[in-house]
């Protein structure tokens, strides 16, 4: 029996190594997976099968659902006429073209963008807008958690459905694992159409568990949209354990860009909601100008041929001339982002990184810290917020462009999660976001390179080990 197990182990390990060698996307990532496979017998191969296989390249492991998503998106967007936006800056034009060519989403002007920089303010704005819905409410979140906000949402839905408003909800099966069948049935009983975007089923779990839908989207009557980093959780309105209140950045969008955001929801809903196709004029009203801000929606995921979120971040970093401000709770950069930040800092661009002092996972924390010494050495200034759990995913450059959304600076957001960011071409909003960033940095602890180098050896060992497992994060 032992011989059979040993032979089986050798076969599956060799198979994993062959696929890694033939289809590995990057040498550094491939090497990390090589160590995981060798160091952890059986478990390493299982982890690689679940989280490491490059499904974009290996046909056998491709998700049929992903291929159908691509075909659906192409069918419904091939006749869209790109809006005419005249940019005053060549930098604007370059990044807008990059996003348009890698995602199919175009920049649109005539929008009003409202920045929502704390949980209470965000949810008051959301519930006020939901209360005014007349035709439909479409909601998508990574996390739905039981609590005050969930109960408030249920009561509002109950009222709006009696008024004849259509309500559709999609959620992620892993992020909303605690939601439970009880709550789902409760929503369905009052008439809410609620589905999981990537349900966990025994027959397909090997192919789906690693691909999570991390998007946060609300669209009301096709006129008002909300998106950013906030989830439906009481963590944003009251302290949660040792992490305290979660601090996040969210946006309210009004104007033509709402259609771009809605297209992202409609595609996800089509594949979650038993094929109900919402690509109809009644769900896409023509919105006139609400302001003068140009905005572009950046949707990324395994259904794309390109790492759109990483491309967006890398292009912003490389185009910066004066400063780069990044706030992110899970800063585990790809080699592209890491080298871009170092080059920017070494060339004289002021680069600041804001992260939470406390993390919701030790592996994430030590993996983040493993990059800090080389960033500090290159001149990047790093700040740790000691009071609140900073959950914002934001980058600002030169008081000109800013991005707020769900995409983290890690391999999961770049390659494996379905994400959505909002890129804003507006100096006043970029300055507003930078001022908020400055306030957070003034209340944060700045890391000193010499002191950081003196950290205990055990921390350095833990960081090195965490970095090996960073492809899982």
Per-residue pLDDT of the chain (473 residues; tens, 9 = 90+): 666 555 555 765 666 666 656 555 555 566 666 777 777 776 766 666 666 665 554 443 445 566 666 666 665 665 666 777 888 888 999 999 999 999 989 999 999 999 999 899 999 999 999 999 999 999 999 999 999 999 999 999 999 999 999 999 999 999 998 888 888 999 999 999 999 987 776 555 555 667 789 999 999 999 999 999 999 999 999 887 788 889 999 999 999 999 999 999 999 999 888 788 898 999 999 999 999 999 999 999 888 888 999 999 999 999 999 999 999 999 999 999 999 999 999 999 999 999 999 887 788 899 999 999 999 999 999 999 988 889 999 999 999 999 999 999 998 899 889 999 999 999 999 999 999 999 999 999 999 999 999 999 999 899 888 887 666 66
Q: What span, in angstroms and rounded, lies between the C-alpha atoms of 433 and 115?
A: 8
The set of residues, in sequence order, having a beta carbon less than 8 Å from that of 426 and lying 6+ positions away, is: 113, 293, 294, 402
Cα dihedral 347→351→357→358 (10° resolution)? -90
Token digits of residue 228: 């950013």
CA distance 235 to 120: 11
In this prediction the pTM is 0.88
Catalytic annotation, pick one of 29, 138, 214, 223: 214
User: Of the residues 262, 365, 385, 391, which is catalytic?
Assistant: 391
Angle at 408 between CA 403 and CA 414, to 5 degrees: 100
Would you call 214 a catalytic residue per the annotation?
A: yes
Which residue is catalytic, options 221, 268, 303, 426? 221
**Nearest CA-CA partner of 422 in 140, 136, 111, 141:** 111
Phi, psi values for residue 163, rounded to 5°: -85, -5
Task: Verify whether residue 391 is a known catalytic residue.
Answer: yes
Of residues 393, 410, 415, 440, which has the active-site annotation? 393
Q: Is 160 one of the catalytic residues? A: no
Marked catalytic residue, from 118, 398, 399, 440:
398
216, 235, 250, 365: the catalytic one is: 216
């Amino acid at each position: 029996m032992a011989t059979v197990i040993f032979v089986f182990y050798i076969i599956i390990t060799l198979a994993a190594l062959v696929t890694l060698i033939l289809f590995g996307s990057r040498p550094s990532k491939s090497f990390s997976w090589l160590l995981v496979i060798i160091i952890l017998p059986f478990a390493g191969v299982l982890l690689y099968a679940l989280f490491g296989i490059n499904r974009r390249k290996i046909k056998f492991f491709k998700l049929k659902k992903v291929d159908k998503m691509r075909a659906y998106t192409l069918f419904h967007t091939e006749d869209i006429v790109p809006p005419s936006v005249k940019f005053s800056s060549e930098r604007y034009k370059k990044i807008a073209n990059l996003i348009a060519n890698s995602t199919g989403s175009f920049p649109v002007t005539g929008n009003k963008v409202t920045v929502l920089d704390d949980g209470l303010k965000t949810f008051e704005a959301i519930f006020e807008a939901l209360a005014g819905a007349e035709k439909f409410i479409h909601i998508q979140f990574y996390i739905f958690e039981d609590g005050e906000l969930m109960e408030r949402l249920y009561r509002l839905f109950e009222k709006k459905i009696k008024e004849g408003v259509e309500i559709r909800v999609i959620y992620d099966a892993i992020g909303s694992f605690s939601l439970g069948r009880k709550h789902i049935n409760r929503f369905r009983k009052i008439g809410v159409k609620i589905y999981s975007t990537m349900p966990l089923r025994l027959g397909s779990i090997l192919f789906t568990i690693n691909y999570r839908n991390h998007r946060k989207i609300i669209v009301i009557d096709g006129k008002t949209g909300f998106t950013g980093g906030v989830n439906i959780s009481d963590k944003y309105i009251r302290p949660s354990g040792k992490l305290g209140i979660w601090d996040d950045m969210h946006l309210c969008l009004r104007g033509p860009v709402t259609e771009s955001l809605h297209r992202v929801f409609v595609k996800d809903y089509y594949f979650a909601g038993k094929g109900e196709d919402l690509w109809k004029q009644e769900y896409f009203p023509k919105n006139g100008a609400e302001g003068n801000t140009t905005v572009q929606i950046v949707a990324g995921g395994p259904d794309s041929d390109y790492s759109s979120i990483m491309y967006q971040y890398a292009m912003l970093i490389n185009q910066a001339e004066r400063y780069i401000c990044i706030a992110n709770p899970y800063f585990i950069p790809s080699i592209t982002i890491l080298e871009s930040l170092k080059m920017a800092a070494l060339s004289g661009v002021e680069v600041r990184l804001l992260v939470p002092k406390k993390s919701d996972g030790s592996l994430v924390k030590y993996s983040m810290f493993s990059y800090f010494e080389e960033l500090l050495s290159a001149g990047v200034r790093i700040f740790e917020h000691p009071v609140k759990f900073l959950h914002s995913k934001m980058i600002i450059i030169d008081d000109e462009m800013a991005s707020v959304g769900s995409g983290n600076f890690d391999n999961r957001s770049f390659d494996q999660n379905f994400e959505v960011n909002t890129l804003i071409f507006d100096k006043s909003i970029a300055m507003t976001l930078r001022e908020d960033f400055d306030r957070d940095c003034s209340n944060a602890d700045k890391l000193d390179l010499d002191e950081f180098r003196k950290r205990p050896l055990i921390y350095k060992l833990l960081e090195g080990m965490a970095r090996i497992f960073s492809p899982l994060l």
